[in-house]
Structure 1
Amino acid sequence: YRISPLYDSMVAKLIAYGRDREEAIAIMGRALAEFRVEGVRTTIPLHRRILATHEFRRGEVTTTFLEERFRRRN
């Protein structure tokens, strides 16, 4: 499938679930590691970094989590 330059920015949605949060995060991590989208930039690397944080794993993220944890350093 070739993605048009006029594509909708949500090309796909990935959902994972498990018996508990820990299992769901592990399943999502494996799925993101195997997920392939070619021809456009994706947020897969960011999602993998988010899954790796202690805050996310413990369910302790806030509305400022992304800004505080992943602020761009120029």
Structure 2
Amino acid sequence: MRKGEQITGAAREELAREMKQQYEAGRSIRAIAEAYGRSYGFVHRVLTETEVSLRGRGGERPRRHRGTAAHAGR
């Protein structure tokens, strides 16, 4: 499979199955995209087509601290 090559039919179904399996095993969309030489959008679209339940965004979320300007009036 060459980068940017259109994938259709049985080849796309097989690729979608592999990507779904990897995603469900915990691999990120970005990691899958890099491994296959595809874009994030392509992998996201393929996973959506397989009706996989997509995880929320990862990483630590910023916290608001008590005593900041946003809470000064409370």
Instruction: Report if TM-score (shorter chain) is over 0.5.
Output: no
User: TM-score band (shorter)?
Assistant: under 0.3
Return the index of the structure with the highest Cα Rg: 2
TM-score by length of 1: 0.27
User: Where is the helix percentage greater, Structure 1 or Structure 2?
Assistant: 2
